[in-house]
Chains A and B, each alone.
Chain A
């Protein structure tokens, strides 16, 4: 096996080189379209900010409360992200590389908290343990909801990482825990960073959970701006600050990723020899069990409790069924649209690095940390003026999902394309396949499991989305999330519970699909 450096130097020219083939038009053109879509809310915010005038902007930005709440948001995001990375990496490691009891069950259950909307979890917690209100509770609830964003990519990375490297480290005298710290963690770092980025951005944009848990963060000021003074300029200025924060965070993440160590060498993936945990087996298994109990069993349990309590009032089965159908098709459309948009950007990011790609990729992240309400209002503003015929119809809502959730899909496409060998694509070109042929016959089929997993993740996220769905859904359409909102709005928790449970059950399906696709990725030789 050649060393990575020598190989990379020899075979893969530096990205700036003239020798590198240009970005093909069939990738650059759609990527630009996607970037423009992602920029729509930013453009709107800039328009609104400009209306405010410089002195007003300065006044808003420099307000003591603004600064304080930015600090709080950053603190919350930092805590939730670090904890999510710790939990996500630990669970993925336990599930793939150790002899912890029940690891197959653990692997299957660990991503399921994705199915639980953070506002549902927050409500479950505060109604059972009112003391959780505040920073600690917000960190707890958001971490339990968000760690799967780290767990899933890290799990996939661990499964495709060459266990040989770890064996070499052992043979060079490192203890298992040293190997974990020095080798395994480094191998999963890019995956953990990509997941951590999604967690950080989600935390920044979340309003539902923190408002239920009464921890005042930055999104709260944005909401308050709308709610109290109906002052859209203030909200826009504040939202732009959030966009700047997002850009800063995602640039940081891409720095980490740039040091990504690609797999080299022929080795067909094989299962790693599980690390024997010895006496820690049950302790660590128990700890994983506690995480799952808190993240999954507890909110589902409290939904069930409400459900049983509300049974006497009866369930509106027809409306429930309609909500399930509406949620399914809108979320599916959202997932497909996000994935289609993500394919060109993700392939660019994996195969054609450069300034153009960097800009396009960063831009797709811009909308992700914006609260749903901001994106929704931006599309309200543009929709009414530019495309009134789809306003409050499915297409505009789907567009909002694209703006909000594109990065999840882009990340999935990027990592799964980056993982398949460039050599194969070159062979295909040499055998007479045009670049589009290569995409269709080689790149996409190989990346399909990873891209599918990304779509499943987007699907889950779309299902739970509330603020944009409320404002942009087709008139008369209720999704599970909006029905849940309606019922909890009047305190009818018993009547709300079936919608919450249906959301969880519905979300289990894509999660299972996601796990199977992640499994399958392991089997492909390189």
Chain B
């Protein structure tokens, strides 16, 4: 019993010491200055961390970043309301930005900033602007399905010869956007019919796009529905020869070639508006855009910037999918539809 008491005392002392050290660290190392620019980033730290550090270096703005999921952060920002400490919201997708804009939580961006991006990559009301884009593509194993290069539409994957040989990531937001695009282009009934045929082809569900690409690359499946940059990253990492899988872009007006964006908006009432605009401009600057093109293999949204690392098909060449980004905010119905046809 004595030793228990001693253990408790020791742990209490250790705890106290730890707390004090921790507080000391907070106080000493990283003072929470009021004039820091606080960014809520729904984009992964591994992807954008270096860029945001660069932002700090280049602009001299003191930046503090909180990372979490885009939708969780959007919900958090909505709950925080005017009490938020955030100045900037960096989102993985347009939906989260749209929700904040709808709740009047985003400032209108300066015309000059909005004008920097190609047409269609900014919120029509000027509340947010895209920073990079990603396209849906078909990854394929040339040994099993060389004919994929001839595909023009995603309808081709419904061919029974691909039965059990298609991979997809049902919980991935980009796949869900694709389904929404299907609904927009084909109508509710058409989309449902498409999904039912797709389900009948017994596609294999994976947890994420990377695992889909892995499966295509190892020849377990013939096709995979993924975003383009996963393949480019893989090629950059392993070398083009080491990657067996190839990707194919469908016709630009096909829902299978949907272009999704990541974007940024300034929180209403931010005391750091000036710095925030500077930060947005940095993300849209040549340096910022090149970072997306080179490091994350995404499409820059500013005209004239190309990747130095990846052989990206130019965004202009993909043109814009005929799907309006603003019609992509009906995710709930999409999820209900996926559930109905059993693709979860």
- Chain A residues proximal to chain B, CB less than 8 Å: 65, 123, 126-127, 130, 133, 211-212, 214, 216, 224-232, 325-326, 328-329, 332-333, 336, 373, 376-377, 380-381, 384-385, 388, 391-392, 394, 445, 448-449, 452, 467, 470-471, 474-476, 482, 486-487, 489-492, 495, 513, 517, 520, 524
Contacts and interface: CB of A to CB of B under 8 A. Distances in A.
Secondary structure call for the A interface: helix
The 9 closest A-B pairs by CB, nearest first: A228-B331, A384-B83, A491-B210, A230-B99, A227-B71, A228-B332, A470-B68, A329-B18, A380-B79
B72 interface: yes
A474 B68 contact: no
A524 B1 CA distance: 9
Interface stretch (B40-48, B116-124, B147-155, B156-164): B40-48
A4 B81 CA distance: 59
A377 B76 contact: yes
A130 B71 contact: no
Given A224-B335, A329-B22, A391-B85, A452 B72 contact: no
Contacts of B68: 470-471
B99 to A, nearest CB: 4
A490 B297 CA distance: 13
B19 A329 contact: yes
Given A474-B26, A517-B4, A214 B79 contact: no
Given A384-B83, A486-B44, A448 B99 contact: no
A214 B75 CA distance: 23
Contact of A490 (B26, B38, B44): B44
A217 B65 CA distance: 32
A328 B11 CA distance: 12
Interface stretch (B185-193, B200-208, B248-256, B264-272): B200-208
Contacts of B335: 224, 228
A471 B84 contact: no
Contacts of B344: 214, 216
Interface of B: 1, 4-5, 7-8, 11, 15, 18-19, 21-22, 26, 30, 32, 38, 44-47, 64-69, 71-76, 78-81, 83-85, 95-96, 99, 103, 170-171, 204-211, 329, 331-332, 334-336, 339, 344
Contacts of A470: 67-69, 72
Contacts of B7: 452, 513
B15 A377 contact: no
Given A391-B85, A520-B1, 20 more contacts: A126-B207, A228-B95, A228-B331, A228-B334, A228-B335, A329-B21, A377-B75, A381-B79, A384-B79, A384-B80, A394-B22, A445-B1, A448-B4, A449-B4, A452-B4, A470-B67, A471-B73, A489-B46, A490-B44, A490-B46
Nearest to A377: B79
Contacts of B67: 470, 482, 486
A230 B74 contact: yes
B75 A230 contact: yes
Contacts of B69: 470
B339 A65 contact: yes
A227 B74 CA distance: 9
Contacts of A228: 95, 331-332, 334-335
Nearest to A385: B83
Contacts of B209: 491
B171 A384 contact: no
Nearest to A373: B72
A295 to B, nearest CB: 21
A507 to B, nearest CB: 16
B339 to A, nearest CB: 7
A130 B4 contact: no
Given A130-B206, A328-B18, A232 B79 contact: yes
Contacts of B65: 475-476
A520 B4 contact: yes
Nearest to B74: A230
B78 to A, nearest CB: 6
A271 B19 CA distance: 41
Nearest to B15: A332
A230 B78 contact: yes
B85 A226 contact: no
15 contacts: A127-B207, A212-B207, A214-B170, A227-B71, A228-B335, A230-B96, A381-B80, A384-B81, A385-B83, A467-B72, A486-B44, A489-B46, A490-B46, A491-B210, A524-B1
B205 A475 contact: no
A506 to B, nearest CB: 13
Contacts of A394: 22
A212 B207 CA distance: 6
A475 B64 contact: yes
> Counting chain A CB atoms within 10 Å of each CB, which of B15, B26, B72, B205 scores highest?
B72
Contact of A475 (B38, B44, B210): B38
Contact of A448 (B5, B21, B76, B329): B5
Given A380-B80, A388-B83, A226 B75 contact: yes
A126 B80 CA distance: 36
A465 to B, nearest CB: 13
Nearest to B22: A329
B46 A392 contact: no
Contacts of B81: 384
Contacts of A333: 15, 19
> Counting chain B CB atoms within 10 Å of each CB, which of A126, A329, A520 scores highest?
A329
A225 B206 CA distance: 23
A127 B169 CA distance: 13
B338 to A, nearest CB: 10
Contacts of A476: 30, 64-65
Contacts of A230: 71, 74-75, 78, 96, 99, 103
Given A216-B344, A452-B8, A476-B64, A492 B79 contact: no
B281 to A, nearest CB: 24
A24 B199 CA distance: 64
Contacts of B75: 226, 230, 232, 373, 377
A423 to B, nearest CB: 19
Given A486-B44, A486-B67, A475 B32 contact: yes
A181 B15 CA distance: 44
